[in-house]
Amino acid sequence: MQFGHAGTVNFAAPTPPSPVPRLLPIRPPQFVNRAGQLEALDVELSRWEHGDRDLCLLTVSGDGGIGKSALLHEWGHRRQEHFPGGTLYVDLVGWRRAGGGVDLGTIAAGFARELGADPAAIGASPAERTAAYRSATAGRRLLLVIDHAEQAAEVRALLPRHGMVLVTSRRPLRQLRMDGARPLPLDPLDAAAGRALIRSWLDESEVGDAALTELVRLCEGRPVRLRAVGEQLLDETGASVHRVVAELATARSQHRPAAEAAWEAVYRALPGSRRQLLARLCGLPGTTFPGELALALGVADAPAGLAALRAAGLVQQTAPGHYAVPGEVAEHADRLVAEVPAADREAALRAAVGFAVAACERVDRAVLGERLRLAGRGATAAPAAPAVLPALDSPAAALDWLERELGTVLALLDAARAHGWHEAVWRGCQALWAFFHSRKPYTDWIASHLAGIEAAGWDERPDAELRMRNQLARAYLELGDHAAADAALEPAVALLPVVAQPQLRGVIHETRALVARDTGRFTEAVEQFTAARAANAGDDRGVALQGYQLADTLRRFGRPAEALAELDAAAALVPGAEHAALHARIGLVRGLALRDLGHQTASCAVLEEAATLAERLGLWSKAEAALAALVAQAEGRDRATAARLAERLAAVRRRTGAPREP
């Protein structure tokens, strides 16, 4: 019997310190005034720093377009050094799905990852994810900014254990006072502040305060309107303050709402290509978008147009490459969108859907490399040119890009479903697998794949339906809902005889095996893993991976000697450093099997080697499992070694966000 190479036992270097995220959006341009509110925020910061409260919570409320977000972003950048634990940020607009719901558990999981927790150890349920996030915030001086909250429950789910939390909302969210929140209402800019904002970009010394004051009044002191109107004053048409004021005053005299009059004047003054770009952006579902999407909509000189819209405040850059249409702009853009012919609106939507599918496929390739991908049979969405797709230089960058743009992607796939573009829906879901499996936004994962199954059926693609059902079952499996996983897989079994690709049949066998193993059906689990391994014939890594899964199943069900034989065969198929992650997993199961056979010395050596490799690769959940087994074997035998291992285990658990065991 082979035990495998044990190697020299060395303790790993100390776990590196947790990262310090800095996630606040780009600092707002031409920020003026708000001196009183900035001072109020400073007072609250001082009270928190010199008091005994773990948490400081403030809610900034007011109408749309008056600068709530700009205030908090500006203050956060000014006081960043007061938060050595990092600055976290979320705009709930990008996370709000149809019906108004927000997947708060996924947001909490993302925060936990930003704070250094191992994604594999964060958990599946919202409660587990919130616990991991809060564990990662313990003792850290954090700033968290939550934009566009609508319910107190949305804020409560994201409160850290320690830190300062600033929330923007159009409503006061009075229920948060039960959580110690202090309100900070925000009013429109007064005449002096409005004039200062205008003069920060308008170099017209001959324009008197009276004209500027009237412009501020007609725009109701809202910075977003003032910036948009300011674009008219700086464009090549040579509009003057007096002319713009006269036009707005005329509209008001016709008893039209101030907002409607201001935005119609802004839209009408836009040059043709910029007007077309804004109309197409506002005609798409959702209000956030990646910059690359704007380039895919078929508008001439889109980069310059996007830059001009940003300068006018008609779109906002919230992060490098990521944009949003301000709420007030979107609310008053219906007339602008209606001017676009229906055929042009559909062409823009097709282009956007094509971009979304192609971008997801690029992310999938960046993360998983070459794998079996089902091709489409016809274009149901306009294919995106490679030049407009995001440049992704690493798997992590690819996942981060898609996490930021997921709301836009899902909204576009939902629009494709409504238009009957079935191929785009299931191809998009297929390409989302790498992201869903890595970042685990279960609510979106399940909803999108239910739509993907439906789309594959309409498209008469049993192979696509098989893949959709398998990917859906994996979501249920990770959530521990084995009945739902079985229900998702049951129709897939009937499709196996009509699907030609053996690898697709193999993934169904693998998922059925995982469900059977987790529910104690040992014989079925072994049969299904064996079938999955056979289906991967010709792919050494696939065969090795299924052999590892089979070995783990044999060990769990009391057959460790057979497990070791399977592990030896699997390891022999995948030599080389490129398979290090699989070797860490094989080493963990090998060490546990040796322990079960009573070979304690060999078990400890193999587990130490597996733990060290897993730590080096950042596989924190595997490192935790190996170290926990080592601690258990050392206790009662070598107290010094047990204590040293326990400290190492505690360091790994801090990385995973898991609470320290008593």
| pLDDT tens sequence across 198-243 | 887 776 565 678 888 888 888 888 888 887 777 666 665 556 777 7
Q: State pLDDT tens for residues 272-288.
A: 888 899 999 999 998 88
Q: What per-residue confidence (pLDDT) applies to 7?
A: 35
Quick one: the chain helix, strand, coil %, rounded to 5? 65, 5, 30
Q: What per-residue confidence (pLDDT) applies to 12?
A: 39
In this structure, is residue 558 part of a structural domain?
Answer: no
Q: What per-residue confidence (pLDDT) applies to 167?
A: 97
Q: What per-residue confidence (pLDDT) applies to 328?
A: 83
Cβ neighbors of 87 (< 8 A, separation 6 or more) are 21, 22, 23, 24, 76, 80, 142, 143, 144, 145
Q: What per-residue confidence (pLDDT) applies to 380?
A: 64
Domain shared by 260 and 119, yes or no:
no
Domain shared by 426 and 450, yes or no:
yes
236 by DSSP, 3-state: which?
A: coil
Instruction: Name the domain boundary from 218, 239, 269.
Output: 269
What does the alpha-carbon distance between residue 288 and residue 91 come to, in Å, rounded to a whole number?
A: 10
What does the alpha-carbon distance between residue 271 and residue 149 come to, in Å, rounded to a whole number?
A: 35
In this structure, is residue 140 part of a structural domain?
Answer: yes
Q: What per-residue confidence (pLDDT) applies to 630?
A: 94
Q: Find the domain containing 285 and state its range.
A: 272-340
In this structure, is residue 565 part of a structural domain?
Answer: no
Q: What per-residue confidence (pLDDT) applies to 382?
A: 63
In this structure, is residue 21 part of a structural domain?
Answer: no
In this structure, is residue 60 part of a structural domain?
Answer: yes
Nearest CA among 355, 224, 318, 336 for reference residue 280: 336
Q: What per-residue confidence (pLDDT) applies to 586?
A: 95
Instruction: Name the domain boundary from 269, 300, 330.
Output: 269
Counted domains in the chain = 4
Domain shared by 223 and 151, yes or no:
no
Domain shared by 435 and 488, yes or no:
yes
Domain shared by 329 and 351, yes or no:
no
Which amino acid would we find at residue 504?
L
Give me Rg for the CA atoms of the chain. Answer: 28
Domain shared by 51 and 135, yes or no:
yes
Give the CATH number, domain containing residue 108: 3.40.50.300
Q: What per-residue confidence (pLDDT) applies to 660?
A: 36
Q: Which residues of the chain have pLDDT under 50?
A: 1-15, 658-662
Give the CATH number, domain containing residue 299: 1.10.10.10
In this structure, is residue 622 part of a structural domain?
Answer: no
Q: What per-residue confidence (pLDDT) applies to 661?
A: 34
Instruction: Name the domain boundary from 320, 340, 360.
Output: 340
In this structure, is residue 161 part of a structural domain?
Answer: yes
Q: What per-residue confidence (pLDDT) applies to 14?
A: 45
Give the CATH number, domain containing residue 477: 1.25.40
Domain shared by 195 and 167, yes or no:
no
Of all helices (H) and strands (E), which one includes residue 177?
Answer: none
DSSP letters spanning 132-175 = HHHHHHTT--EEEEEES--SHHHHHTT--SSEEEEEEESS--GG
